[in-house]
Structure 1
């Protein structure tokens, strides 16, 4: 008879609990706290994007891409205002909290611009970086809308769903630009 030489491992509830990261003193205790904290995060992200989009637009060479970035810049400015309305609707002062995820995505976009020659390859890189930003925003606004729905924050939900739809449309436009034109030229 063969015996299994692997030692059996058991995990007790106490061992699992010991491995959990302790919460900070100001950690969210309720969904409303997490909702507000996440709003502050995306508010910072959108404001940072307002500053970053002009650089992307300046470095793009394809006119259609430049126009799309310019259009999204104007849309993002409206989204910042809409977030301010959302804060007001839930009775919280609009406040930005640094979004590490967006900072990382914008740093990556800068790197792509620096690491590509001007032209179609850079344009393809700008689209790729932009879509990463859009996907982050889509995930964030979808989550925030779900939180607002559970919390019964109807005005916030409406605002968040409107922005979510705009982000999805932007992502779709970027995909269309890449598929119909730019990626083939960059080849």
Structure 2
């Protein structure tokens, strides 16, 4: 028996899917923006503090782009229903405040920030595909900029982790 492939969604349903995922990532980014200063304080070494600060600036830029996207498509963000980012960040990534080796907490902090960026990268990728189908050219460009920033942050945290481990 051959698996059934669902029919392609129409534009109205595609927009509904688009808004659902855009709202999730938007609310997640807003939550992160509120926590950036706390995340910076968790870093033990200056290089990581600077990277988390840069990450916070990128989060702010991404939120602004998403607000522009809402305007472009004539929508407003809906209230938070489910925020997977909140679940990951809750309790400051469950970092061990009793940890006597700062490097371990820093590596955990980078791990969780990279997990968040991977969620963002995947979400932006899906949103870009849907924006292309809906012929939202300017929206697609804004999402691509957000995607690129998230990918760059992921690489930055990888480089810092490598520096910590190999130097």
TM-score range relative to shorter protein: 0.7 to 0.9
Check conservation: 2:22, 2:127, Cα contact below 8 A: yes
1:179: how far off? 0.9
Show structure 1 runs of 5+ residues with no match.
1-10, 14-28
Give the corresponding residue for 2:130.
147
1:37: how far off? 1.4
Match of 1:128 among 86, 102, 111: 111
1:121: how far off? 1.0
Q: How many residues align?
A: 158
1:110: how far off? 3.0
Task: Return the structure number with greater relative CO, CA threshold 8 A, min gap 6.
Answer: 2
Check conservation: 2:93, 2:109, Cα contact below 8 A: no
Give the corresponding residue for 1:77.
60
The SS at the match of 1:42 is helix
2:152 matches 1:172: no
Q: Deviations over 1:84-137 (max 9, x none)?
A: 000111111233434432122112743125464461111111011111111111
Give the corresponding residue for 1:17.
none
Check conservation: 1:131, 1:174, Cα contact below 8 A: yes
Could you say which structure has the larger radius of gyration?
1
- CA distance in 1 between counterparts of 2:100 and 2:131 reads 44
Give the corresponding residue for 1:88.
71
TM-score, normalised to structure 2, is 0.86
2:21 matches 1:46: no
CA separation of 1:143 and 1:114: change in aligned 2, threshold 3 A: farther
Give the corresponding residue for 1:4.
none
Check conservation: 2:27, 2:80, Cα contact below 8 A: yes
The SS at the match of 1:94 is coil
TM-score, normalised to structure 1, is 0.77
1:53: how far off? 2.0
- CA distance in 1 between counterparts of 2:84 and 2:130 reads 20
Check conservation: 2:27, 2:83, Cα contact below 8 A: no
